[in-house]
Amino acid sequence: MIRTFLSFLAAVASGIQVWLIITKGEGFCLNDGCDVVERLTTIPSLYFYGLGAFFFALICLCSAVARFAESEIADKCVGYMLTAGMAAEGVLIFFQYSVAHAFCGSCLMVFAFIVLLTLFSGMDQIMRGLIAFCAVLIAAFALQFDAGGTGKSFTFGTMATYTEEGNEKTITLLFSETCPHCEKVLDYLQEESSCNVRFNPIEKRTKPFIFAGALKKSSYDPTANIGFMRSIGVGSIPLLIAPGGREMKYEILNGTNQILPWLERNCRFSAEKKRTTVSAEEIPVVDEEESGMSTVPDNSSIRLPVVVPQSDDDKCGTGVPGC
């Protein structure tokens, strides 16, 4: 009876998350780890919670049948599903610990429900679930994974490129669609900047990217950008990778207080030349199968100097741990 009640409660909780995502745009979470983990997944959280609701509802149904109809087949189905759930949670726990470096509160709640259901399913099921969970963890930790893009060039994280004819100066912008300070930089680049630009978002975008004349790549990996930020110890955006002076090959500019003055000095159109492209509404972003501009080399292994800003009112935190 307890197992039926717990699985029903878990199904309701997962269903509420689905309802919140559909109606509010985001689910309930106890910490900031949910946002970090969701940025590193390729499947929307709506599908995860929807699958979770179906999973627990099926366990609830089979548990009720096993109890009231005394069906051994239904009881075995519950055991198989719980073993599979423990194995899947082993993968997710490893991912949160080793790749995302952040634990998702909602994910841990689902894990707790599966553990409780396993504990109330008898000693045999506890042993099967424990073996499946530990086997997955051992196998995962025995392998070497690219932790959040660390070691991968941030050029893999380029979503779109813009080329200004006759200009060899190329900059790379790390940004987010939810950061208002990033929007200020994008607005300046669209109206005033004469530099070539690589656009590197730190998450898979949910909104259309509009920038007149930009070429959108067929695929990109935002974890490469997060890994690059972690490697240089910067956890806020907008972040601009710009050509340096004689003493340094590249420099990092963090926040609008640093980025906009640099763009004004180095990328502003001269009085004789203005951008000839029309508005962003008239020129859509188009797909580009090629690798994009090659004026910025693969420099992810270069330790770039970072100037620390005086305040945090010109940038957005990302929640990226380790920065």
Task: Determine the 3-state secondary structure of 139 from DSSP.
Answer: helix
For the chain, the farthest-separated pair of C-alpha atoms sits apart, in whole angstroms, at 86
Separation CA 126–CA 118 (nearest Å): 6
Highest averaged pLDDT of the listed ranges 99-103, 233-237, 276-280 = 233-237
Average confidence (pLDDT) over 43-50? 85
Contact call for residues 237 and 319 (beta carbons, < 8 A): no
- Inter-residue contact 79 to 122 (CB < 8 Å): no
Asked if pLDDT for residue 62 goes beyond 90, the answer is yes
Strand order across the beta sheet in which 196-201 lies: 250-254, 239-243, 170-175, 196-201, 160-162, 215-217, 286-288
How far from 59 is each of 81, 83, 93, 141, CA to CA, in Å?
7, 12, 22, 30
pLDDT in tens, 115-153: 999 999 999 999 999 999 999 999 988 875 554 444 556
The mean pLDDT of 14-31, rounded to a whole number, is 84
Percentage, residues of the chain above pLDDT 70? 76
Does 88 or 168 have the greater pLDDT score? Answer: 88
Nearest of 27, 9, 10 to residue 18 by alpha carbon: 27
pLDDT classification of 88: cutoffs 50, 70, 90: very high
The pLDDT of residue 39: 64
**pLDDT for 116:** 94
pLDDT in tens, 241-259: 888 765 556 788 898 999 9
Distance of CA 242 to the CA centre of its chain: 24
Q: Name which residue leads in pLDDT, 14 or 192.
A: 14
Domains, the chain, in order of start with CATH, read 2-145 (1.20.1440.130), 154-317 (3.40.30)
Mean pLDDT of 73-99: 90
Residue range 267-273: mean pLDDT, rounded: 63
Task: Provide mean pLDDT across the span 168-173.
Answer: 86
DSSP 80-121: HHHHHHHHHHHHHHHIIIIII-S--HHHHHHHHHHHHHHHTT
Residue 320: the pLDDT is 58
Mean pLDDT highest for which of 8-12, 162-166, 190-194, 219-223?
8-12
Q: Give the rounded percent of residues in the chain with a pLDDT score beyond 90.
A: 32
CB 266 within 8 A of CB 135: no
* pLDDT at residue 270, rounded to an integer: 61
For residue 238, cis peptide bond before it (omega within 30 degrees of 0)? yes
Note if the pTM is more than 0.85.
Answer: no
Instruction: Band the pLDDT of 114: cuts 50, 70, 90.
Output: very high
Q: In this structure, are residues 82 and 114 in contact, taking their beta carbons and an 8 Å threshold?
A: yes
pLDDT reported for residue 97: 80
> Between 166 and 272, whose confidence is greater?
166
Residue 46 burial (C-beta neighbours within 10 Å; 0-12, 13-18, 19+): middle
Lowest mean per-residue pLDDT among 9-18, 29-38, 66-75: 29-38
| CA proximity to 236, closest of 147, 186, 148, 311 | 311
